[in-house]
Chain A
Amino acid sequence: MTGFSTLNTAVTGMSAAQRAMDIAGQNVVNANTPGYSRQRLGLVSSGAATSATFHTGNRAHFGGVEVKEITRIRDAFLEATRAAAGARQEALTAEHTVLAGVEGLLAEPGDTGLQSTLDAFYSAWHDLATNPSDTASGSAVVQRGIAVTDQLRYVASNIAARWGIAHDDLDAAVDQVNRAAAELANLNVQIREGNAVGRSVNELMDRRDLLVRELTEVVGATAVTGGDEQVTVHVNGVTIVAGSAAQELRVTGSLDLDGSLSDPPGLAWGATPVSVDSGKTAGILAALRTDLPDLADRLDGVALALRDSVNILHNEGFTQAGDPGGDFFDGTDAMDMTVIPTSGTELAPALTAGTVDGSNAARIGDLMDDRAAKDVLGSDGPSVLWRDLSAVVGVRVRSLDTAMQVQETVLASAEDAVQSNAGVNLDEEMTNMILFQRAFQASARVITSVDEMLDTLVNRTGTVGR
């Protein structure tokens, strides 16, 4: 060991301290960067020769300190838990958004919903029953009937429109997935190359983790890190990223609400269907495949029950001119229902031909009572079906609300766990800064001391007593 080698030792200490300051600085400035994982300097003491040598004897040799690695503090399990919790929350939120929009359309309970419109329609029939020969009462019935069909069409067309919007969202989400998958595959390549030349790839890996989280939140993907730090991404068993290769997903199935029951929308890779359990796309698909078609179906049920109950009775009646009543409503679903009579004279308020009788009008007005409607149809009438529909939407939105609140706390604690592991604690970094500042000063002091020592050795040796 020589005094000169101690200088080198001190220099390694100073550069290690500088490096540590670098990292503390990096940690501090990225304290609020999304996806950033704090980094730590891995130091090892170096150069201690341990085996004795015959010629020189066993003399300790100190080589200073060495920066072994810069580690990224990150727990893959916590990260995956956080991403999965986020994916479930995204699924709930996406479905909730669609259904909450539909809920607003119903305008129930209130004076502007279909229930009130139906009641007003039945009331108009009662008024006609009171005064069967009055043309004004007759036109009121026709107008109220048109109001009912208008409202049915309004709700039906808006459900269809919301289906279309949700489908656009699905397209956008799949584009996002394909873009993220391509970028992730690209990062895989960069990381492998970086590792090969010994460059620090920590920031690239942070970026890649963010992409994995994005993919998880959108399609519920899971990621596995393999050899060479290469990440493989699966969606329910289908690989979408492997090494440098990314597979493009696409949207399959019907492009409109009408076809969504026979040909439900879905995702596919090539010809392989990809089922999605969580993530935003799962929520959108639930709305597209189940919720909205079910509502549209129920709404058609309301329309058909109304059409049939009124038509059955109207057919049994006679117009003022003595003609059989015929149908009142025409159409096959909520969207295309129309009122056939154009004026009060085409209505059939009488039960006996050739009389001025309002008893058939009264029977139709009585349909406002759920029991009467059930008697005529043999099944639930339009009011009951409409209330069921409103309750179904209400319960669904409510349960999604509750699930979202629960998931919110799950997500929060998962996020806390990730943050408490990988997040930057400023106090800690500042303490480290002080620590390494002192280490730097101490190393510098070693150099000064050695310098003084050498000074003594070189300049003062042999001059004692001079």
Chain B
Amino acid sequence: MAVSRITQRTLTDTALRGLQSSLGRVQGLQEELSSGRRISRPSDDPSGTASAMVFRSQRAANVQYLRNIDAASSRLAVIDSTLMQISERLRSVQALMVQSRNGGLGQASQDALATEVEAIKDALVDTYNTRYLDRPIFGGTIDEIIAVDASTNAYLGNDEPITARISRDAVVRVDLPGTAAGADVVPDLMDRISAAMRSGGVTATEFDDMDAVFSTVMESIGDVGARAERINITRTAVDSQRLDLTTWISEYEDVDLPETIMNLQAQQVAYQAALGAAAKVTQTSLADFLK
């Protein structure tokens, strides 16, 4: 400061300015510490704010993807267990067909087998009408609460896919069309089998049709399992990304405690030194030395 003439006023002003700026820095650090945030408003770090906002948005998206994944998993789990039930029921019908075909059975026994098949058919139709979230799982997107009409055997569903976004870049199909579970052919086939039993026994045609349906169902079980697996893998990736994002947000927005506390300590020492200097300088006066 190229000032030659010093007055009491400039002394106190300089001292006061030093105290002000020192106290200002203490206040800034104290605000960071008490709020725990390095960025409380955009101007604290404009570019950091933009990044933090992007990360926050991506984290919100990832949280939503996880919700979608949960919904997709439970939907596929329901489909999977339903397919298992269907395959078991088809297998028991196959066993009954083998008995019917083996011969040596009287018509009364064939009728008994037919009654059993009819009972299984009712159970199968119920199974095809299994609902998830109040919607038939094999109905596609139809606006009905059943996929198979129990009285007409008609398949009401469509093949429209139901999809879910499970990550920023992946969409997965989370339903199974009824046709892939045999919903369109099984009820009729069951009727044909029981009718054949009532008229003497099942024939090779019914066996072939049954085998075809059975392999369709088994294929679908494999397909659903593979999709469930893929969703699980994605879940791990999305979840770890969500944790990463949370860490990054924290790195941008939250204070580094040890560093900030050390800075505060240093500023407090500086403030005390400034106070001491101000007290010493402003106390002296020529009046003290005159008689």
The chain A residues found within 8 Å of chain B, CB to CB, are: 31-32, 100, 103-104, 106, 108-109, 113, 115-116, 118-120, 122-123, 126-127, 129-131, 133-134, 320, 350, 352, 354-359, 362, 365-366, 368-369, 383, 387, 390-391, 393-398, 401, 412-413, 415-417, 419-421, 423-427, 430-431, 434
Least distance between A437 CB and chain B CB atoms (Å): 11
Question: Are B290 and A130 closer than 8 Å at their CB atoms?
Answer: no
Among A104, A133, A320, point to the contact of B134 (Cβ < 8 A).
Answer: A133
Interface size of B by CB at 8 A reads 55
For window 8-43 of B, CB contacts with A under 8 Å fall at 8-10, 13-14, 17, 39, 41-43
Q: Are A119 and B57 in contact (CB under 8 A)?
A: yes
Residue of B nearest to A393 (CB): B42
The B234-269 residues at the A interface (CB cut-off 8 A) are 249, 252-253
B60, A368: Cβ atoms under 8 Å?
A: yes
| Interface residue B211 (Cβ < 8 Å from any Cβ of A) | no
The answer for the CA separation of A434 and B290 in the assembled complex, in Å, is 10
Contact with A along B126-142 (1 / 0, CB 8 A): 00000001110000111
Which chain B residue has the least Cβ–Cβ distance from A350?
B141
Write the residues of chain B forming the contact surface with A, with a CB cutoff of 8 angstroms: 1, 3-10, 13-14, 17, 39, 41-47, 49-50, 52-54, 56-57, 60-61, 63-64, 67-68, 71, 133-135, 140-143, 158, 160, 162-165, 168, 249, 252-253, 285-287, 290
When the two chains form their complex, are residues A115 and B68 in contact, meaning their CB atoms are under 8 A apart?
no
A423's nearest neighbour on chain B, judged by CB, is B7
Interchain CB contact under 8 A, A416 and B5: no
- Least CB distance from B170 to A in Å reads 12
Which 10 A-B pairs give the minimum distances between C-beta atoms? A394-B42, A394-B46, A119-B60, A397-B43, A355-B141, A423-B7, A109-B52, A357-B141, A398-B43, A425-B7
A419-B10 CB under 8 A given contacts A122-B64, A133-B135: yes
| A431 and B47 within 8 A (CB) | no
Main secondary structure of the interface of B (DSSP, over half): helix
CA distance A31 to B158 in the complex (A): 94
Cα–Cα, bound, A419→B249 (Å):
49
Q: Please, how many angstroms separate the alpha-carbon atoms of A133 and B134 in the complex? A: 9
Q: How far is the CA of A252 from the CA of B43 in the complex (A)?
A: 32
Q: Using A356-B143, A416-B3, A423-B8 as known contacts, list a sample of 13 further A-B pairs with CB atoms less than 8 Å apart, ordered by residue number in A.
A: A100-B43, A108-B41, A126-B67, A130-B164, A133-B135, A350-B141, A391-B46, A394-B43, A394-B46, A398-B43, A423-B7, A425-B8, A426-B7
Chain A residues whose CB sits within 8 angstroms of the CB of B17 once the complex forms? 412
Taking CB atoms, residues of chain B closer than 8 Å to A123 are: 60, 63-64, 67
A-B contact pairs, 10 of them (CB 8 A): A109-B56, A122-B64, A127-B67, A130-B164, A131-B133, A359-B162, A365-B64, A396-B43, A419-B13, A423-B8
B60 cross-chain contacts in A, Cβ below 8 A = 116, 119-120, 123, 368
Report Cα–Cα, A398/B60, bound state, in Å.
28
Say yes or no: A369 contacts B61, CB within 8 Å.
Answer: yes
Taking a contact as CB atoms closer than 8 A, the residue among A352, A387, A423 that contacts B9 in the complex is A423
Q: Does the CB pair A395–B9 fall under 8 Å?
A: no
Min CB gap A417→B, angstroms? 7
Which residues of A lie under 8 Å from residue B7 when comparing CB positions? 31, 419-420, 423-426
Contact B164 A362 (CB under 8 A): yes
Rounded to whole angstroms, the CA-CA distance of A424 and B5 in the bound complex is: 10
Least distance between A21 CB and chain B CB atoms (Å): 15
Q: Is the CB of A32 within 8 A of B9?
A: yes
Q: Is the CB of B286 within 8 A of A415?
A: no
Q: Give chain A residues whose Cβ lies under 8 Å from the Cβ of B53.
A: 108-109, 113, 115, 387, 390
CA–CA, A387 and B42, complex, Å: 10
- Given A362-B163, A416-B13, A420-B5, the answer on whether A430 and B41 have CB atoms closer than 8 Å is no
- Residue of B with least CB distance to A426: B8
Residues of B close to A131: CB separation below 8 A: 71, 133
Q: Whose C-beta in chain A lies nearest to the C-beta of B285?
A: A426
Residue in contact with B46 in the complex, picked from A31, A350, A398, A430, CB distance below 8 Å: A398
**A119-B60, A366-B165 known; A421 vs B5 contact (CB < 8 Å):** yes
